[in-house]
Amino acid sequence: MKLAIVILAAGQGKRMHSDLPKVLHSLAGQPLITHVITTALTLQPNQIHLVYGHGGDQVKTALANAPVTLIEQTPQLGTGHAVAQAMPFISDDQQVLILYGDVPLIGATTLQHLCSRADANSMAVLTVELANPYGYGRIVRNAQGWVEKIVEEKDADATLKLIKEVNTGILAVPASYLRRWLNLLTNQNAQGEYYLTDIIALAAQEALTIHTVATDEVHEVMGVNDRLQLAQLERYYQTQQVNRLMLAGVTVKDPARLDIRGTVQAGRDVIIDVNVILEGPVTLGQRVKIGPHTVIRNARIGDDTEIFANCVIEETIVGANCRIGPFARLRPETVLAEQVHIGNFVEIKKSSVAHDSKINHLSYIGDTEVGYAVNIGAGTITCNYDGANKHKTIIGDRAFIGSDTQLVAPVIIGTGATIGAGSTITRNTPPETLTFSRAAQTSVPSWQRPKKKK
């Protein structure tokens, strides 16, 4: 059967105490809903329908490019009512898988297994055993062990409340049955809502087979209702990610102090010190070392490169055998070749630096092409912005830029040129030649220091 997925995400998320809709709160750098959509896509569904409500405009904006159809549910009259909003868009020949926008870590394998248990004439419900089932719908079975109904916490009597097998909410059901049952739902219950879970009793009455799939992966089915649960899931997810890296050959000095908000590919014998954040796609070559307190976002770091403490590296390609930091900032569109040294308090933006060049102290290099074996002295500034436009600086191979120099772009420093310290360079400089611009040094022998008045 073709698969249609319905993701419920209309709820308010009251307990978040937030102006942001719950499903847009982020886990590992991505909105909760994005995790669910990403997993849903791995099942190769025919369609994904997302039922939204609270914070509709924000949800629509955030998901403008997501491969889902957005269906508004106003007002929100319960999970059954929410699914009913999607049914006009789903044909009878499909299997419908219900997911939740606030259950972000549901796994593709679990869902595949669940879907494989349902067919044109049977359904499957994902369940979990909880030591403390409080708050969840209970799975009620008959004497033969078949599922009879699901009873919500607020509707359960003392005996039913003892049941520890609970409804995760996730289920797979043929569309034709679902459509019919949804039309039969009433809101005669403790919460005055149209419960999706009431379709179970209708299925049982028709003697339709209701399979249950029990999962041991509690985190996969945990919902986010408040910020404590969000933090717990974040920690769990981070632990999983970091464990995976360590098992693949990365040394992590403290697994609790590395955060991965994206995907990391790492070579063998990478060493990561404490308080490092890796965001977006990050690739680390063989034997890369990352010092403490560093943020790396959308970057590729070459083999044997060492990044010292307190660096921020964003949208940058760093070659092999480089030394970066401490306290370096590499901004977007920076490309460093092999054996480049970038030292403390150096900022590089939208520039390329060829092999064996050094920018070791206190410099700003922006919109610049730096050749190979260039040495840029302390306090060198490329003046790339005239207040209206950005201009380029080109620094030839083997050039030597003396300390405290301003290169006023657009400007070209010739190959092998030497620029004397303290220069303000406003015109192109010839190759293999010393250029400087500097007031002549004077000494005044007759001068005397002022003395304090009596």
What does the block give as tokens for 210? 């209701």
Q: Cβ-count burial of 215 within 10 angstroms (0-12 exposed, 13-18 middle, 19+ buried)?
A: buried
Q: Of the two residues 81 and 323, which places its CB atom closer to ligand UD1 in the complex?
A: 81
- Is position 291 an interface residue for Ca ion (rule: CB under 5 A)? no
Q: Could you tell me the smallest distance in angstroms from the CB atom of residue 225 to ligand UD1? A: 7
The SS3 of residue 263 is strand
Q: Of the two residues 156 and 266, which places its CB atom closer to Ca ion in the complex?
A: 156
**Of the residues 114, 150, 313, 395, which one makes contact with ligand UD1 according to CB under 6 A:** 150
User: What values do phi and psi take at 313, rounded to 5?
Assistant: -125, 120
Residue 9 binds which of ligand UD1, Ca ion, none (CB < 5-8 A, kind-dependent): ligand UD1
**Of the residues 3, 8, 126, 399, which one makes contact with ligand UD1 according to CB under 6 A:** 8
Residue 85 binds which of Ca ion, ligand UD1, none (CB < 5-8 A, kind-dependent): none
Per-residue interface string for the shown chain with ligand UD1, residues 215-234, x marking contact by CB under 6 A: --------x-----------
- Is position 223 an interface residue for Ca ion (rule: CB under 5 A)? yes
- DSSP assigned state of 328: E
- Is position 55 an interface residue for ligand UD1 (rule: CB under 6 A)? no
CA distances from 301 to 32, 260, 289, 332, 334 (A): 29, 16, 10, 14, 12
Q: Of the two residues 223 and 343, which places its CB atom closer to ligand UD1 in the complex?
A: 223
- Is position 13 an interface residue for Ca ion (rule: CB under 5 A)? no
Residue 358 binds which of Ca ion, ligand UD1, none (CB < 5-8 A, kind-dependent): none
Residue 341 appears among annotated catalytic residues:
no
Residue 429 binds which of ligand UD1, Ca ion, none (CB < 5-8 A, kind-dependent): none
Stretch that binds ligand UD1, among 162-170, 241-249, 316-324, 431-439 (CB under 6 A): 162-170
Q: Provide CB contacts within 8 A for 302, sequence distance 6+.
A: 285, 288, 318, 319, 320, 321, 322, 338
Pairwise CA distance, residues 221 & 196, whole Å:
17
- Is position 137 an interface residue for Ca ion (rule: CB under 5 A)? no
Q: What is the 3-state secondary structure (H, E, C) of 68-117?
A: CEEEECCCCCCHHHHHHHHHHHCCCCEEEEEEECCCCCCCHHHHHHHHHH
Q: Of the two residues 38 and 251, which places its CB atom closer to ligand UD1 in the complex?
A: 38
CB 341 within 8 A of CB 323: yes
What does the block give as tokens for 371? 């050749």
Residue 199 binds which of ligand UD1, Ca ion, none (CB < 5-8 A, kind-dependent): none
Q: Which of residues 173-212 bind ligand UD1 (CB under 6 A)?
A: 195-197
**Of the residues 106, 128, 166, 335, which one makes contact with ligand UD1 according to CB under 6 A:** 166
Q: Provide CB contacts within 8 A for 206, sequence distance 6+.
A: none
CB 330 within 8 A of CB 318: yes
Which helix (DSSP H) or strand (DSSP E) does residue 434 occupy?
A: strand 434-435
CA distances from 384 to 353, 393, 428 (A): 16, 7, 14
Type of residue found at 419: I
**Of the residues 25, 102, 238, 312, which one makes contact with ligand UD1 according to CB under 6 A:** 102
- Is position 36 an interface residue for ligand UD1 (rule: CB under 6 A)? no
Q: Of the two residues 51 and 111, which places its CB atom closer to ligand UD1 in the complex?
A: 51
Residue 169 binds which of Ca ion, ligand UD1, none (CB < 5-8 A, kind-dependent): ligand UD1
**Which residues sit at the interface with ligand UD1, rule CB under 6 A?**
8-11, 51, 73, 76-79, 81-82, 100-102, 136-137, 150, 152, 166-169, 195-197, 223
Q: Which residues are catalytic?
A: 361
